Amino acid sequence: MGWFTRKPRQRPALDAKAREEAEHRYGRAAFGTAIGLYMRTVDEDRKDPSDLAFDLPDSRFRFLVMLLSTVFKACALEIPEGIDAASSALKSLAMLSVNEKQFRFFAGDVTAEEAYESGKVYFIGFTNQWSKIVSAGNRDGAGWPEQKRLLAIMLKAVESESDLTDADLARLGPMTLYIDGLQPGVREEFRRLLAHP
């Protein structure tokens, strides 16, 4: 996993208005990238046994937030320091999730504010899990097996509140490889959306 391979670029400080515009611009690119990932990953017609079991009332929303955290981890070095694009992207996800009934992000009625607040909690948890995954790849001897297990734990948290079992790890194995393989495409899509809002 090469999620962090370069040093962040130094950019000049922004005034408040420019910072707000940048947060919206980077947030919109992250939002669009996450939605694209979701659409490619959650295909109702797929028969792949590695598909996620969306057992919780908000499993689809959790998965969408997990994909957003994936975008931010893959593109961390693309976003200038001091730019809080995550809040902007989460607000967009919250609005979409309560207004887009076709994808059934929630089992019941949820307000955009409720979706945003729960999305923040999930986003922080997934971001922390990504930090563990990256750290596991940097430790001698741990490597991919530990990263795969940690990624499967994150995917299991999308599905249900229960702990990861060996059967879950085997079932989610192909999905962990899929998520790991997203990195180059995620960066490319993010850059494309950033250049052409």
Evaluate whether residue 143 is within a structural domain. yes
Q: Determine contact, residues 159/53, Cβ cutoff 8 Å.
A: yes
The pLDDT, as a whole number, for residue 57 is 92
User: How do residues 23-65 score in pLDDT, each as one tens digit?
Assistant: 999 999 999 999 999 888 876 555 444 568 888 999 999 999 9
Could you give the number of structural domains in the chain?
1
Which residue would you say has higher pLDDT here, 7 or 102?
102
Residue 185 forms part of a structural domain = yes
Residue 126 CA, distance from chain mean position: 7
Structure pTM?
0.87
For residue 166, give its domain range: 17-42+54-195
In a domain, 77, yes or no: yes
Report if residue 76 sits inside a domain.
Answer: yes
Residue 11 within a domain: no
Is 179 part of any domain? yes
Does residue 2 sit within a domain? Answer: no
**Is 47 part of any domain?**
no
Contact 137, 147 (CB under 8 A): yes
Helix (H) or strand (E) holding 81: none
